[in-house]
Amino acid sequence: MVALWVVLAVLALVVVVGSLSYAVRPRRRGGGTAAKARTRTAPRRPPSSPSRTATIAPPGPAPAAPEEPSGSGGALRSGAGAEEAVRLGTVAETPPLRERLGRTRGVFAGLRSLRGKAVDPGAWDALEEALIRADVGVATTDALLEDLRRRVRDREIGGGDELVDALRGDLVDLLSPERRRDAARGDGAGGPSPSDASGPLADSVAPVGRGLRFDDEAGVVNVWLFVGVNGVGKTTTVGKVARQQIAAGRSVLLAAGDTFRAAAAEQLDMWARRVGAEIVRGAPGGDPSAVVFDAVQRAAARGSSLVLADTAGRLHTKVNLVEELKKVRRVAERPPGRVTEVLLVLDATTGQNGLVQARQFTDAVSVTGVVLTKLDGTAKGGIVVAIQRELGVPVKLIGLGEGPDDLVPFEPAAFVAALLG
Amino acid sequence: MFDALSDRLERIAGRLRSRGRLSDADLDDALREIRVALLDADVEIGVVRTFVEGIRARCAGEVLSKSLTPGQQVVKAVHEALVEALGGETLKLTYASRPPTVVLLAGLQGSGKTTTAAKLARWWKQQGRNPLLVGADLQRPAAVEQLRVLGRQAGVTVFSEPTDPVAVALAGLEEARRLGRDICIVDTAGRLAIDRELMEEVRRISAAVQPHYTLLVIDAMTGQDAVATARAFHDALELDGLVVTKLDGDARGGAALSAKGVVGRPIVFASTGEKLGDFDLFHPDRMADRILGMGDVLSLIEQAERTMDKEAVARSAGRIMEGRFTLEDFLEQLQQVKKLGSFGGIMKLLPGVSKDLRQVADRIDDRELARVEAVIRSMTPAERADPSVIDASRRLRIARGSGTSTADVSQLVKQHREMQKLVKGMAGGGVPAVPGLGSVPGGRGLGGLGGLLGGGRQQLAALRALGAQSSDEGGGLAALLGSASSAAGAGSLDAVAVGGAAGTSRPKGQRAGKSKKKKGGRVTPPKGR
């Protein structure tokens, strides 16, 4: 059961916190104390930098009593009503993933310059830099490069050209474990083999297992749960997925499971109207599990087979919020509901904390896949390499903008090509 | 996961040779580790490069300190440099002679601008100012509605209209003037730095309202992209400052350093939670600790103060340091720890906690703590006071009552005995090796806080070095750490108690009225100090 370490750890924690909390005067909010505090530190600055004294101007006298708005209605215009025309119709044609990623990419001159040259220390530096800049992370980068080094030593890889191609291949393989598995099986009848198309850049083979699971059984309401930390794009993603699923002919219901954030339900509501889906909402501040439960019941009653459940952004460090999420999943799992996807929505700009998020959310609610959003920006989202490598959680979808059609399936080769520039 | 820099340096400390001066080889080793630590913390690779070279220049040929290992000396230099880089010139907020003072918020999607706008409004309102919030994000569905709700919570008026962002901003400014508000906070839509059209739009908004302060709102968990984003926004808008958000997470926050490095403007505010009150001025020293993986101790303390019953915790700490550790005590300690939140998460934040302990903490399920609690609760007060009375039939009863096994109960009792020995030993000063703790670095002959935390004297010495040069509020912390390190040397916890926890001796007098703890809980008379 409990290791001695637990007891030791608790003691340590209590002692440290208990003693420290009396030693340290907490900072008070607001300008006063902070201002004094900063003045005191001024003399400590090394002479080279100009020392500025305490800086937040102390609260001055408020200006003469302001004219109050004549009835709050006058000054305020309703901005929330910015209604979008409901867009129905087919999902728009979107340019291929590689093109959309390509237009945002900087050029890694370093990697290009490797072509045609021998493998020298500069080459390794360039590779390392490319991977680190892509947020792949030190540990994964080291592992990848170590393997390449071995192969160079064993003369499996020759010059600079081969090195970059080898890295590309490794990354693609890493991001498509189903393909490796099928190749290892070696049966022609099995899934696609990586040598199917010409060269390591081929992405004509859609990896198995990357689709969104949908159980087409009578009486089953599929629930796809969207989870993640704050600000990653969960609600927008729900809207986009709804759009796609409706276009595919499924009957979709949205559950406004974010009962915490101001106007979260309103935001999802606008998406529902935009894509033509029904939505179930709860009272602000209410129990998100109740909303999801209601949504499943309603879906069953209406004969809808899919509920897309939005949840509130939550930091994985907050125990009570994680517990709340576990409860949401449990409730969603009650018949006729069946949780067939738990999608972790991850912002492509996220650094190494993305791996921590993935780990914690997976531990809590068994994440089945990642939706990588905001990949239309300059960030590369390389953290998903580490996530796949260490947790085995695949990326299923990629978000490329704020519009309803800006969602595409994840293609490892295109992603890697953009990653390495 | 979060290998603290101190752990890494522990590893190389052995290899560093003390020769009176820091040799180049010594430095190289240390700097390599620091580079990795900073990259793990999401500091941008170019910024890391410059920074590390700066450290090299700073440390080259430095005379070796007597109390620190060369590795720790380098860490101290890094910490100093980080605090400088993150702090340095602070933004002196002055207010426009012709009100209102206009503040423009910009940043990527999801960075926290809208929440920050409301927090800023509340912050200024608390200072006696009279802000107006302008919702110029017409792109995101219900963004203005969100601002309105937050405005209501903060008690601040929100202005918006469904025209276009530039027009709204202008109209908002007019409205602020009309209403005689002295601050006008303009929230804008999130936009990608490479989106030429939208960057042009925010430029036009800026040109229209002529903000006195343009702040970039950046998410603490941003990775390498921080530089590109900060640079682009700075080029477009000429930023005056930065706001770092979502610091209540466990992201190391290197993006703060990267962004500041590129923009060269101060980080003004830190946002530490979803509630409007979770907002404060930015503390460079805390951020430096965090980036170095040393844990934002002070935030941990604040969090602890918010959630734990201070008196109870101090009481517990006091009792431990007096050598008392009954199951009743332990139960109380567990209660407090539970309130703090994720146990594993917190252990990672503590400085000086050895890697072994942290790895264990990683694996500890909060459920395990619940199980321990259940076992203790199933005991009678007499059993808690004196577990030696627990025979087979009692064990069975306790096991049944708590849903565990008799083996579990025996194990807990056995471990309690061990811990009691250990704790008594610490209070007395020095203790013979406790079986099972041999793997704790410096564990043999445990005595003092250093041993308990497994880090040994070296860790504490390093912490003292850090504490000594961190800013004012570190004064108390430094004193504590200073005394803790000498305690490690002296082999007792007395100094720790004296140095910082003045409060722990207080509760004795107050115990009569307040304590829930039974008097009979003490098995052995307290060892005198």
Instruction: Report which of B156, B135, B155 is spatially closest to residue B146, judged by C-alpha positions.
Output: B135
pLDDT band per the 50, 70, 90 thresholds, residue A160: confident
pLDDT band per the 50, 70, 90 thresholds, residue B318: confident
Please indicate, yes or no, whether the overall pTM of this predicted structure exceeds 0.80.
no
Q: Which two tokens stand for residue B17?
A: 């040779």
| Minimum mean pLDDT range among A258-272, B22-36, B114-128 | B22-36
Reduced 3-state DSSP string for A29-44: CCHHHHHHHHHHHHHH
CB atoms within 10 A of CB B297: 25
pLDDT band per the 50, 70, 90 thresholds, residue B289: confident
Angle among Cα B432, B435, B440 to the nearest 5 degrees reads 85
DSSP-assigned letters across all residues of B481-520: HHHHHHHHHHTSSHHHHHHT-HHHHTHHHHHHHH--S-GG
Contact A6, B369 (CB under 8 A): yes
Which residue does chain A place closest to B320, by CA atoms? Answer: A15
Cis peptide preceding B100, ω within 30 of 0: yes
Distance from CA of B300 to the nearest CA of A (A): 8
Task: List, for residues A235-271, the tens digit of each pLDDT value.
Answer: 999 999 999 999 999 999 999 999 999 999 999 999 9
- Which residue out of B177, B218, B274, B480 would a mutagenesis test of the A interface target, given it has the greatest number of A Cβ atoms within 10 Å? B274
B92 Rama class: left (phi>0) / alpha (psi -120 to 50) / beta: beta
CA distance A195 to A202: 9
Q: Does A42 touch chain B (CB under 8 A)?
A: no
Contact check, Cβ <8 Å, B129/A59? yes
CA–CA distance from A258 to each of A62, A292, A321, A324 (Å)?
38, 10, 12, 11
Task: List, for residues B138-162, the tens digit of each pLDDT value.
Answer: 999 999 999 999 999 999 999 999 9
| Minimum mean pLDDT range among A258-272, A334-348, B18-32 | B18-32
* CB-CB neighbors (< 8 A) of B416 in chain A: 7
* CB-CB neighbors (< 8 A) of A5 in chain B: 357, 360, 364
Q: Is the model's pLDDT at B24 over the cut of 80?
A: no
CA distance A22 to A26: 9
Instruction: Report which of B96, B109, B104, B107 is spatially closest to residue B120, judged by C-alpha positions.
Output: B104
Number of helices followed by number of strands (H, E) in chain A: 16, 8
Q: What is the mean pLDDT of residues B163-177?
A: 96
CA distance A15 to B329: 12
pLDDT of residue A325: 96
Higher pLDDT pick, B452 / B356: B356
Count Cα atoms within 13 angstroms, Cβ side, for B194.
18
Distance from CA of B18 to the nearest CA of A (A): 27
Contact check, Cβ <8 Å, B145/A7? no
CA distance A164 to B522: 68
Which residue does chain A place closest to B92, by CA atoms? Answer: A55
Contact A123, A117 (CB under 8 A): yes
Q: Which two tokens stand for residue B317?
A: 């700490």
Instruction: Report which of B294, B263, B225 is spatially closest to residue B42, judged by C-alpha positions.
Output: B225
Q: Between β-strands B213-219 and B279-281, what pairing exists: parallel, antiparallel or unpaired?
A: unpaired
Interface A-B, measured as beta-carbon pairs within 8 A, has a size of 402
CA distance A421 to A382: 12
Which residues have C-beta within 8 Å of that of residue B318, sequence separation ≥ 6? A18, B497, B501, B504, B505, B507, B508
Q: What is the mean pLDDT of residues A355-364?
A: 95
A256 DSSP assignment: E
Distance from CA of A356 to the nearest CA of B (A): 8
pLDDT of residue A43: 37
* CB-CB neighbors (< 8 A) of A38 in chain B: 90
Higher pLDDT pick, A225 / B383: A225
Q: Is the model's pLDDT at A399 over the cut of 70?
A: yes
CA–CA distance from B273 to each of A313, A318, B148, B277 (Å)?
12, 11, 19, 8
| Minimum mean pLDDT range among A4-18, B109-123, B258-272 | A4-18
pLDDT band per the 50, 70, 90 thresholds, residue B371: confident
pLDDT of residue A34: 37
Contact B440, B451 (CB under 8 A): yes
Q: What is the mean pLDDT of residues A30-41?
A: 36
Q: What is the mean pLDDT of residues B391-404?
A: 90
Which residues have C-beta within 8 Å of that of residue A335, sequence separation ≥ 6? none
pLDDT of residue A408: 95
CA distance A295 to A285: 17
Q: Which residue do the tokens 């002529």 mark?
A: B210
Q: Is the model's pLDDT at B357 over the cut of 70?
A: no
Contact check, Cβ <8 Å, B480/A41? no
Distance from CA of B258 to the nearest CA of A (A): 12
CA distance B302 to A182: 52
CA–CA distance from B60 to each of A16, A334, B2, B37 (Å)?
35, 65, 28, 20
Measured between CB atoms, which of B318, B353, B479 is closest to A12?
Answer: B353
pLDDT of residue A89: 35
CA–CA distance from A257 to each of A32, A293, B87, B148, B289 (Å)?
40, 10, 40, 21, 36
* CB-CB neighbors (< 8 A) of B298 in chain A: 24, 26
Measured between CB atoms, which of A31, A37, A274 is closest to B473?
Answer: A37
* β partners of residue A371: A345, A397
Instruction: Report which of B493, B497, B524, B488 is spatially closest to residue B428, judged by C-alpha positions.
Output: B493
DSSP-assigned letters across all residues of A12-32: HHHHHHHHHHHHSPPPPSSHH
Q: Is A119 in a helix, a strand, or coil?
A: coil
Measured between CB atoms, which of B112, B366, B502 is closest to A22?
Answer: B502
CA distance B100 to B130: 9
Q: What is the mean pLDDT of residues A136-144?
A: 95
Q: Is the model's pLDDT at B61 over the cut of 80?
A: no
CA distance B255 to B263: 12
Task: List, for residues B63-98, the tens digit of each pLDDT value.
Answer: 766 666 666 677 788 888 999 999 876 677 888 888
* CB-CB neighbors (< 8 A) of A54 in chain B: 90
pLDDT of residue A226: 98
At B408, which amino acid appears? D
At A327, which amino acid appears? K
Q: Does A259 touch chain B (CB under 8 A)?
A: no
Higher pLDDT pick, B416 / B14: B416
* CB-CB neighbors (< 8 A) of A50 in chain B: 89
pLDDT band per the 50, 70, 90 thresholds, residue B328: confident
Distance from CA of B207 to the nearest CA of A (A): 22
Cis peptide preceding A336, ω within 30 of 0: yes
What's the mean per-residue pLDDT of chain B? Answer: 74
Q: Is the model's pLDDT at A220 over the cut of 70?
A: yes
Task: List, for residues B208-218, the tens digit of each pLDDT value.
Answer: 999 999 999 99
